[in-house]
């Protein structure tokens, strides 16, 4: 079933880091915000990396991102997808990152998981010429990565370019 991305990007004129997922899960689409599945570890990991309390509400999550210079969006604008399965993604139309990259001082781009990285490299890198760094997925489907291991690897968000 073809789905269009229902969530606007989060960024402002202070966003230095851009984190891109692949496409929102069913739970995220229903919640109307990124990483809405309660077992996705994105908010636990990023809040730990930045030494902040884990945000619970959408306004808290938005404030957390912007106060830490993080822009957040996804690689895919629309696609065919079954449920939340990245492996089922077909017929991708990528998001245009031009507005974010022209209005925010983004110095580093990261992808949340291998699917986002593969799709970024295929569809967006040729347009931007800006490489993205692969971070392990925070999805509950990536059970081989413990929370502590994710936190340690995601600390690369703090490293200056």
Write the CATH number for 68: 3.40.470.10
**Percent share of the chain, pLDDT over 90:** 88
Average pLDDT over residues 122-133: 97
d(CA 2, CA 92): 10
In which band, very low, low, confident or very high, does the pLDDT at 86 lie, cut at 50, 70 and 90? confident
Give the separation between CA 47 and CA 121, rounded to whole angstroms: 27
Is residue 161 scored above 80 in pLDDT?
no
Q: State yes or no: pLDDT of 114 exceeds 90.
A: yes
Check residue 143 and give its pLDDT: 87
* CA distances in angstroms from 100 to 22, 74, 90, listed in the order given: 17, 12, 25
* 136 half-sphere exposure, CB direction, 13 A CA radius: 18
SS3 81: coil
Average pLDDT of span 59-66: 98
> Other C-beta atoms within 10 Å of 110: how many?
19
Contact 28, 81 (CB under 8 A): no
Give the Cα separation of 112 and 13 in Å (integer). 22
160 pLDDT more than 80: no
Domain encompassing residue 125: 2-158
- CA 62 vs CA 73, 145, 156: distances in Å: 12, 26, 21
Number of structural domains found in the chain: 1
Mean pLDDT to the nearest integer, 123-151: 95
């Amino acid at each position: 079933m073809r789905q269009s991305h229902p969530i606007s990007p989060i960024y402002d004129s202070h966003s230095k880091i851009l984190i891109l997922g692949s496409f929102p899960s069913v739970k995220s689409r229903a919640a109307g915000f990124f990483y809405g599945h309660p077992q996705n570890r994105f908010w636990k990991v990023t809040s730990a990396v930045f030494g902040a309390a884990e945000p619970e509400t959408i306004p808290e999550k938005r404030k957390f991102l912007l106060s830490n210079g993080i822009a957040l969006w996804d690689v895919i604008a629309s696609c065919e997808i079954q449920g939340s399965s990245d492996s089922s993604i077909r017929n991708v139309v990528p998001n245009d990152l031009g507005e974010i990259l022209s209005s925010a001082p983004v110095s580093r781009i990261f992808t949340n998981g291998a699917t986002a990285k593969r799709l970024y490299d295929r569809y967006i890198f040729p347009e931007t010429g800006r490489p993205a760094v692969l971070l392990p997925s925070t999805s509950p489907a990536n059970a081989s990565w413990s929370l502590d291991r994710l936190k340690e690897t995601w600390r690369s968000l703090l490293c200056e370019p």
